[in-house]
Amino acid sequence: MNVSAIDWAVFWPPVRLSLQVALLSSVIAAIFGIAVAWKMSRTSFRGKIVLETAFMLPLVLPPTVVGFILLVLLGRKSLLGRWIEAVFAAPVIFSWWAAVIASVVVAFPLVYQTMKSGFRGIDRDLEDAGRSIGANEWQVFRYISLPLAGRALMTAFILGFARALGEFGATLMIAGNIPGKTQTVPTAIYVAVDSGNQTMAWAWTGSIIIISFIMLLLTRQPRDGKA
């Protein structure tokens, strides 16, 4: 790849937008994933397995299917889409917020499953000890459960970030590929390859590989100095 042939003015906008979308969506997915995982790991009710299966669906469904469903739910002809447009004076479809929504949906299953495993690995006696000295459920969660699941939280956030960074199909369906507005690195790579611009395709591919490698490397840091 000839680095001097890279058009940096074209290269950076998709990278910046991808990082912006991935960061925001991973934070949102982490908030919802932590809350739902905590509740689901501490309660049992009829239909729980069905609900959990629904939570995991975006992980196995084709991204275009996820994108189509979001398009139907958030499109300008839907009730929710019209409400959003009335409140914010602009449709959510084909905006960078649409890319965030798509990324949240596809990242949520990874965050949820990781956090649920983290919460299940906590010694319940420690939580009961907190309750025995007068701590309410929020205090038990905030000062005991969440710190003890800290490693799972970091892993969940990073996996959610990496998944959001690489999201393509659903994003293309509801956010489109508008340069400088909704074009992320995956969609930019698609366009570059389709137009025969191998230099830019390799540049964007290299950037997303490097970022993803660093994020995944962080999840494999040794615990207590042990590899």
Question: CA-CA distance, 138 to 129, in Å (whole number)?
Answer: 14
What single-letter amino acid sits at 227? A
Reading the chain (227 residues) residue by residue, the pLDDT tens digits are 566 678 888 999 999 999 999 999 999 999 999 999 998 988 888 888 999 999 999 989 999 999 999 999 998 888 988 998 888 888 899 999 999 999 999 999 999 999 999 998 888 888 889 888 888 888 888 888 889 988 889 989 999 999 999 899 899 999 989 988 999 999 999 999 999 899 999 999 999 999 988 888 877 765 544 54
Question: CA-CA distance, 193 to 127, in Å (whole number)?
Answer: 53
pTM: 0.87
Do the Cβ atoms of 25 and 164 come closer than 8 Å? yes
Question: CA-CA distance, 34 to 26, in Å (whole number)?
Answer: 12
Element (DSSP H or E) covering residue 73: helix 63-74
CA 137 to chain centre: 27
CA 7 to chain centre: 29
Question: CA-CA distance, 94 to 214, in Å (whole number)?
Answer: 30
